Structure 1
């Protein structure tokens, strides 16, 4: 757990003298509360070229961190779906977790996933993952329902959509001129075929 205090997320490399440092670590106020497991470590980021800020989304943190590259200043804003309440993710009370325990904790907990910035509409998209309940877990239905949240540049929530009967892959999304393309597999569809659903700002109104 103490190692997470300095777990590097992004390295800053000086090309002139080849020096390397890690300006961004996992949020210590979240990741030192207890043991989360490896599934809660992978961070996602989006870059806003206009503001020169990185927006970082951490699986166990209900907030999004903004890191201003020129100055190194950071700020955090709350970005949670309404069904999550305060959005806090509780860690395990164990001193350490084995592979199955780590998987179980991640699957049975709410968490946060990929973040994207849309420069065409000047909005952010953040995915959240809903905890698998006890019944579905016992039936080995481990897929976490995804929630897509849409925020303006001030991070005011515009809309959220929960995907229940669709398998959504947050890592297989991209922003285009028309909106956010979301990689999905329909519940009764071919699991080897991923389709891209275009999510537009008009759908959120």
Structure 2
């Protein structure tokens, strides 16, 4: 220090450089991305199991064994695979006839391996691993049937079980008259089923004001997840997400993809084929899922694209063509977004484990597609500084 003080000009220069360096670092912004890692889970399946499912969820047992519960629409069965050994653990046949009949089902939630909730539109059945019905909960509120959205993973809206209550979200009923903002704000969004009293009620929370024009009437779908405190909703036509902790009021957070200009289109033609084509081509938000291990949310997005004559619409209705994943921190701020390559992944088939987010890489257009396996690639959450 004495030597430096002998040269005051040199000392001032060093101090200035140090100050500039610190100032520059303070302006650096940390951004995150998801990159395909080396980790992969490949599970052989039998001839009676389809390699695509609309409803699959991961479950961690108290013993620390990770499972994948997988609905097989072909056989009306719920398959359980161990994700540590990549082998089938057991299957549960969901009866369609007889004293334990539930019928065709779509959507489920695993409380534990002997307490599984099965959704079949008008009721929820709680069964054990042998398919025996332990209890039933009718989805009726004030003598009216609640139009609950199926708790699937394709549209990620799992049944949330909290304090012996089941939370589902209520889909908007089809209407010949367009919904305006006032109508949306009168329509209950959340359904609560008390498993002890068997009572079903519509909570005060209603749909947010998603648009203002009077001639909009199209896709009202949303995805919803729960982080232990907040229910977070991703409406597919909104550049924002909506967060509630009490199911009475929302707080709105901007969450716009960098790959969209303006707003997602909400008007769709009445023709089914034209609707399917536009649902693939139009920009749209998708599922939102919470990663409890890294304390972040992932919001999926489908950028606008154009279909080619050789594109298979039936396959693309399952896989989509393009997608990105936005990354949100615990304060619901966007901290990164990753665009993924076409014809490689199935973005609606995913789960989160302690070592990362896994997404199916068994796309029908992928040269490595194999109908005899379930295949998932681990995505690594990486960070870097942006000047």
TM-score, normalised with respect to structure 1: 0.78
Match of 2:216 in 1: 34
Structure 1 unpaired stretches of 5+: none
CA drift of 1:16 comes to 4.3
Match of 1:75 in 2: 251
Match of 2:352 in 1: 175
- Structure ID, larger Rg: 2
Match of 1:111 in 2: 284
1:156 aligns with 2:333: yes
CA drift of 1:176 comes to 1.4
Residues 63, 80 of structure 1: 8 Å contact kept: yes
Match of 2:265 in 1: 90
RMSD: 2.8
Count of residue pairs brought into register by the alignment: 193
Q: Give the alignment of 1:1-205 within 5 angstroms.
A: 1-2=178-179, 5=184, 9-14=189-194, 16=197, 18-30=199-211, 34-36=216-218, 40-49=219-228, 52-69=229-246, 72-86=248-262, 88-92=263-267, 97-133=270-306, 136-140=307-311, 142=313, 143-185=320-362, 187-190=366-369, 192=371, 193-202=373-382, 204-205=383-384
Mapped partners of 2:208, 2:249: distance in 1 = 14
Distance 1:67 1:19, change over 3 A: same
Secondary structure of the structure 2 residue equivalent to 1:82 = coil
Secondary structure of the structure 2 residue equivalent to 1:106 = helix
Secondary structure of the structure 2 residue equivalent to 1:101 = helix
Residues 113, 170 of structure 1: 8 Å contact kept: no
Residues 123, 150 of structure 1: 8 Å contact kept: yes
Residues 360, 376 of structure 2: 8 Å contact kept: yes
Offset from partner CA, 1:153-188 (integer Å, 9 cap, x none): 122222221112344333321121112111222521
Report which structure shows greater RCO (CA 8 Å, sep ≥6): 2
Structure 2 unpaired stretches of 5+: 1-177, 314-319
